[in-house]
A and B are shown apart, each in its own frame.
Chain A
Amino acid sequence: MNVIVCVKQIPDPALPGELDPSTNTLKRDGKLILDESDSYGVEMALQLVTAAGGGEVSLVSMAPNDETSGLRTALAMGAAKAVLVSDPSLAGADALTTAKVLAAASKQLGEVDLIIAGTESSDGYTGTVPEQMAEVLGLPSITFAKSIEIADGTLKVDRQTEAGYDEVTCSLPAVVSVTAGVVEPRYPSFKGIMAAKSKPVETVTTADLGVESVSWAQQIVSVEDAPAREAGEVIEDDGESFNKIVEFLDNLKVI
């Protein structure tokens, strides 16, 4: 059972995001970390490979400046190897281009049974890349998986819906996007962290992958400040503040 997990290395969400004033795209030049929402996919993949009794988990990622620190976190969790696409021509790439590049990168890893991705990244959150990759690769897909099982070569997924969930079965190979909470991601062990340092990470360019015409048909024309919502009254609870809430609700005639 060979599984590929698509992971994104993003600016630390704890730090305020910034737009590059010359291009109006998200600044991604500082230290990058593993997007937390991808740690669920890595964990899921590791569990599926263990359950299958053999195979390995590989990673594909796209990031500027040969950035690998986020990849090392996923390798420390237990992934075996990674392909990183790093190419200045990809700065500001749209979701479609990203999907084409990741699809091409995944082909470098040979025969694969399953490709797992998060439902959306925590910085760009377009949320279309996994399904676009499936289309580029001509594979079936299930998005928003909240549980995954593989039995007798068939994928069984509970897929989140607006109203509840659907049970979906699917042939392999396939692409699945997983929601946060699908599994509890493990913390890398010390041994894992040490081992990750020597695991193979192949860095490639779009030319190496044979991806042509890297361009996208959207342009940011301007950025403006949103009308700010003004903060109202903030009070310290003195044991009676619930009366303030009652009064507030009363004035709005909701009680």
Chain B
Amino acid sequence: MGIDNIWVFAQAADGAPTSGTLELLTQARSLGGNVSAFMAGDGAGVAAALGDHGAAKVYATGDLGGALPGVAVSAAMQAVIEGGDTPDLIMFPQSYEGRDVMARLSVKLDRTVLTNSTAVSAEGDAVTVQTPVFGGTKLVNSTFTGERPFLAAFRPKSFVAEGGAGAAGEVVSAPVPDLGSAAGATVTAVHVEETSGPKLDEAAVVVAGGRGLGEADKFDMIESLAKQLKGAPGASRAIVDAGWVPYSYQVGQTGKVVKPTVYIAAGISGATQHMVGMKGSKNIIAINKDKEAPIFGVADLGIVGDVHKVLPQLLEALNSRS
């Protein structure tokens, strides 16, 4: 048997596969065997990039007609599996759509799911995934004990994407069957929040603010410093929940995972939920009033001080250099 046939749930944005998709394809290829991508929409435009990262085949559902991917793509996957192509492992990005497709499919196939993983290995017929818990202080290794396909979701940036695997994947149509009583949700409008500067999860420098800023207006300091350093502004869950900044700014368990060259945490105490999203940063600078704040446990440079004093001074010093 072995692990010979792996699918990756592929996502595209702005006409290109997402970085998470390419990371998973690269990892799938290193596990050996055949690798296929499975995606919503039209596969032709991205088949070259998916093939370059390891997908010999690209299953594409065609236009979803406003249906949400969770219910639609899982039904298309089930149809292909019942048609005879049964993967040993299906890898999903830990994203909104990835989780939804995986959840629906797990019920259709009656398979367990393992989520939030950051590593995977295959040995003989066994697949083991590794998942950080307790804010990344412990690593849990879990294995699947049931029937295939095994379903696993991986956090962004768990693997490094590498191209050069081969030619464009062969696009195979995988239409969505009738959804029956589970149909009913329709997307009627799509809104894209405009941001300037580099993307939060791709920026070399991330400047993030938290509760310690005291009030929403003070987030301007974070924006200014990010701009000055040609980086991206980020935020803790606390101030996103408080409505100070949009959700797209959130770094952490339920937000973005970032691994910049420099991460500056200003007024962030370092809750587990936040640390999971930024611990992989190459260098961490923390500014916080409370010297007991957990964030200092991971900081390369920690300043015990008031962000309202340190940040303006820092901005001024940087301004005078440029």
The chain A residues found within 8 Å of chain B, CB to CB, are: 16-17, 19, 24, 94-96, 99, 119-120, 122, 125-132, 134-136, 138-144, 146, 159-171, 174, 179-181, 216-226, 228-229, 231-237, 239, 241-246, 248-249, 252, 254-255
Contact = CB atoms under 8 A, between A and B. Distances in A.
A174 B142 contact: no
Contacts of A132: 103-104, 106-107
B241 A248 contact: no
Contacts of A122: 273
Interface in B94-112: 95-96, 99-100, 102-104, 106-108, 110-112
A135 B136 CA distance: 31
B305 interface: yes
Interface of B: 13, 18, 68, 70-71, 74, 95-96, 99-100, 102-104, 106-108, 110-116, 128, 132-134, 136-147, 180-193, 204-205, 229, 237, 240-243, 247-248, 253-254, 261-262, 264, 273, 279, 283, 285, 291, 296-306, 309-310, 313-314, 317-318, 321
Given A131-B103, A232-B301, A223 B138 contact: yes
A218 B142 contact: yes
Given A224-B141, A237-B305, A167 B185 contact: no
Contact of A134 (B182, B262, B302): B182
A159 B191 CA distance: 10
Contacts of A220: 140-142
Contact of B190 (A166, A217, A248): A166
- The winner among B103, B147, B296, B298 for most chain A CB atoms within 10 A is B103
Nearest to A127: B99
A138 B115 contact: no
A245 B204 CA distance: 16
Given A131-B104, A245-B314, A170 B70 contact: no
Chain A interface mostly helix, strand, loop or mixed? Answer: mixed
B296 A225 contact: no
Contacts of A139: 181-182, 184
A163 B96 contact: no
Contacts of A164: 190-193, 248
B112 A94 contact: yes
20 contacts: A16-B134, A96-B110, A120-B254, A128-B103, A136-B107, A146-B247, A162-B18, A162-B95, A164-B192, A166-B189, A179-B247, A217-B111, A218-B142, A220-B141, A229-B298, A233-B300, A241-B310, A244-B303, A245-B264, A252-B261
Contacts of B240: 181
A18 to B, nearest CB: 9
B300 A218 contact: no
B103 A235 contact: no
B116 A126 contact: yes
A128 B99 contact: yes
A162 B96 contact: yes
A140 B145 CA distance: 30
A20 B111 CA distance: 25
Contacts of A169: 185-186, 188
A246 B314 contact: yes
Nearest to B230: A254
Given A119-B254, A234-B302, A236-B305, A143 B100 contact: yes
A143 B111 contact: no
Nearest to B312: A242
Given A241-B303, A245-B301, A217 B145 contact: yes
A135 B184 CA distance: 13
B304 A254 contact: no
B303 to A, nearest CB: 5
Contacts of A232: 299-302
A223 B137 CA distance: 11
Contacts of A252: 261-262, 283
